[in-house]
Structure 1
Amino acid sequence: MITMTINDLQAFTMVYELRHISNAAVELHLSQSELSKRMHSLETELNIKLLDTYNKRNLKITPAGETFYHHAQKIIADYEQMLQDLATNRPTTFKQLTIGSIPVSGQYNIAQRIGVFDQQHPEIDLKVIEGEGHQIVTQLLAGKLQAAIIRDTQTYQLQPTDFVKQTLQQDELMIILPANHPLATQSTIRIKDLAHQKIATLPPGSGVYEPITQLFARQSVTPQFFFESTHIETLLSMLGQNNVTLLFKQSALPFMTDQFVMRSLAIPFMSQLTFVYPQRSGNQLLTDLIDSLVISRHTN
């Protein structure tokens, strides 16, 4: 009998991406023992090893685990699409819509689109509150927000059985470094090239810190974080001959000058800006708002 759930699939994808049970448990807000039990249950149900945990410090994915990961991604995506499609059949029942957003509204032209939508729907009291990703997720989980605009890297603890996640726009993680930096001569940069570079970074919960740690972990490289700030301009001011920062392209562009250059990773890393809302509250109004924000991706 099949007993695995969508949440189990999401838990496995987190373990796969972080290559670390303990770190994945933190992201999923589970205990390490609970997550380990979930992984063991999956393997028992499937009657095959998905994870090689012989070396606790260097978890490896088995060939079966690679196959399972790709199917799990498809199943989760199909499930989320089903929830989005069902939302259009629910009538709008609320008169106030409060949305939390990470501070990227200007860079992605979201503020302008929401402003237009607000004018088109005077019957709704629409409010957007900017904040850091972890704060927005906490407020969304507490029911203080009806929806949120955050990066997909900040949505791991939002279980797909409870929340709908709709992609608004895709962005690429870029390496930002001084124009005279030795690595600036390369068109692309490998993670291993950054092994001895000090890294200025946005803090944990930013949706940027997390993929950086994941990418380094996959290459068995420890990132040398030396400075954290929530302000991009401050991060750029810290750059020198032996340090860099990693930021999403659209977020960094407004702060770029001829003193700095952007370089892609040798294996590009793409992230999605997502619109998230509780799946039971999805309705036609939210669907229309999402459509207006997705359209902006193609018209700007």
Structure 2
Amino acid sequence: MKNFTLKQLHYFTTVVETQSIAEASRRLHIAQPSISIAIKNLEDTFDQQLLIRHHAQGVSLTPGGRRFYEKAKELLRLSYEFEQNSLASSDQTSGKITVGSFESVAPLYIPRLIAGFKKVYPGIDVQLHDGEQHELMIGLHRGQFDLAFLYDLELDNSIRREALNAPHRPYALLPIGHPLAQQPSVTLTELSREPMVLLDVIPSRNYFLSLFTEKGLHPEVAYASPSIEMVRCMVGQGQGFSILVTRPLTNTTYDGQELAHVEIEDEMESSTLIMAYLKNNEPTHPARLFMDYCRNYNLGESTIKKANNY
């Protein structure tokens, strides 16, 4: 029987995913020599070279290393599920969940979901990571997240998804004193004549611009930012309009300016916040408890409803 440890596999997969022993060392808070020794022990144990070391340029996988990496990921996933399910089956439910959230919606929904869940299950540790959609998808596929919260846009068929709220229509964000802000609603044509402040994260950027291009409109993007609050502040300072889906519970920006939320008349595709997880990765018991809690939580405008999995 080959002698190896899960810790060695964890070090190895982290090196592969960061493509660098130095970066893996920073992420794991482990000295580089310890990681190098662990990988060398794996190579000696299985009598094959797993990594190609490139001087000052990181590492890459050998063909055998690629196959070994896929099997190591699966073994670590099964080990994690075993640990979490065993902890959750004890008299006092415990365990750990790692949740990813799309950065523009994370502050509005996720803290209250976690806070409420922790009151019901204080023994379950919930770790949170927010980022862009491609980062969340990579994290799901690499087993870094149990589930992720994001908008149902530009997603592939590798995940199951459940709606967390009713589809939301985009709205126009305008300075409170802007003439269009005095109207009950606006059109995309009217907005396209104004400078635009764009939320510059994928897939939001593509989605918002497509609302115009599908109608042959091309607004001038005066400013773009990946921060939803920076977008709100630029609009509040009169630098243009924006289109958003996420609706903060205040109309006041960080710097004290008032904003107007105005409905858009045009027919357009709505956007739905979803809870996503991999089809081929059965959620652990703690993750299922958190998902059940989220399904039954009211996110403000509508009660969470379970959608079809596809």
Q: Give the structure-2-normalised TM-score.
A: 0.57
Stretches of structure 2 lacking an aligned partner (at least 5 in a row): 1-80, 85-95, 302-310
Is 1:212–2:208 an aligned residue pair? Answer: yes
SS of alignment partner, residue 176 of structure 1: strand
CA gap 1:244/1:235 in 2 versus in 1, 3 angstroms: same
Q: Take 2:281 and 2:223, find their aligned partners in 1: how far apart are those partners? A: 40
Counterpart of 1:128? 128
Contact 2:102-2:131 at 8 Å conserved across structures:
yes
Query: Match for 2:296: what amino acid?
Result: I
Counterpart of 1:111? 111
Stretches of structure 1 lacking an aligned partner (at least 5 in a row): 1-91
Query: Match for 1:169: what amino acid?
Result: N
Query: Match for 1:136: what amino acid?
Result: L
Q: Take 1:268 and 1:183, find their aligned partners in 2: how far apart are those partners? A: 19
Q: Displacement, 1:249?
A: 4.3
Post-superposition CA distance 1:182-222 (Å, at most 9, x none): 212221111111222111111131x4323212211221112
Q: Take 1:237 and 1:299, find their aligned partners in 2: how far apart are those partners? A: 24
Counterpart of 1:51? none
CA gap 1:298/1:199 in 2 versus in 1, 3 angstroms: closer
Q: Take 2:174 and 2:163, find their aligned partners in 1: how far apart are those partners? A: 29
Query: Match for 1:272: what amino acid?
Result: T
Using the TM superposition, name which of 233-242 and 249-258 deviates more.
249-258
Contact 1:114-1:293 at 8 Å conserved across structures:
no
CA gap 1:226/1:252 in 2 versus in 1, 3 angstroms: farther
135, 138, 156: which one pairs with 1:158?
156
SS of alignment partner, residue 210 of structure 1: helix
Query: Match for 2:183: what amino acid?
Result: Q
Counterpart of 1:87? none
CA gap 1:272/1:180 in 2 versus in 1, 3 angstroms: same
Where do 1:70-109 residues align within 5 Å?
A: 93=82, 95=84, 96-103=96-103, 104-108=105-109
Contact 2:187-2:265 at 8 Å conserved across structures:
yes
Contact 2:146-2:287 at 8 Å conserved across structures:
no
SS of alignment partner, residue 149 of structure 2: strand
Counterpart of 1:228? 224
Is 1:193–2:190 an aligned residue pair? Answer: yes
Post-superposition CA distance 1:223-252 (Å, at most 9, x none): 321211122332233236672011224247
Counterpart of 1:50? none
CA gap 1:174/1:129 in 2 versus in 1, 3 angstroms: same
Question: What is the root-mean-square deviation of aligned Cα atoms in Å?
Answer: 2.8
Q: Which has the larger radius of gyration?
A: 2
Counterpart of 1:260? 259
SS of alignment partner, residue 164 of structure 2: strand
SS of alignment partner, residue 107 of structure 1: helix
Q: Displacement, 1:262?
A: 0.8
The ranges of structure 1 where at least 4 consecutive aligned residues each deviate by more than 3 angstroms after the TM superposition are 118-125, 251-258, 282-288
CA gap 1:249/1:228 in 2 versus in 1, 3 angstroms: same
Contact 1:188-1:264 at 8 Å conserved across structures:
yes
Counterpart of 1:297? 298
Post-superposition CA distance 1:70-97 (Å, at most 9, x none): xxxxxxxxxxxxxxxxxxxxxx645242
CA gap 1:274/1:139 in 2 versus in 1, 3 angstroms: same
Contact 1:192-1:221 at 8 Å conserved across structures:
yes
Query: Match for 1:146: what amino acid?
Result: D
SS of alignment partner, residue 145 of structure 2: coil
SS of alignment partner, residue 200 of structure 2: coil
Q: Displacement, 1:263?
A: 0.4
Q: Take 1:121 and 1:242, find their aligned partners in 2: how far apart are those partners? A: 46
Q: Take 2:267 and 2:288, find their aligned partners in 1: how far apart are those partners? A: 30
Q: Take 2:239 and 2:98, find their aligned partners in 1: how far apart are those partners? A: 43
Count residues with an aligned counterpart. Answer: 203
Query: Match for 2:156: what amino acid?
Result: L
Counterpart of 2:199? 202
Is 1:167–2:163 an aligned residue pair? Answer: yes
CA gap 1:134/1:176 in 2 versus in 1, 3 angstroms: same
Contact 2:186-2:264 at 8 Å conserved across structures:
yes
Contact 1:165-1:277 at 8 Å conserved across structures:
yes
Q: Displacement, 1:267?
A: 3.0
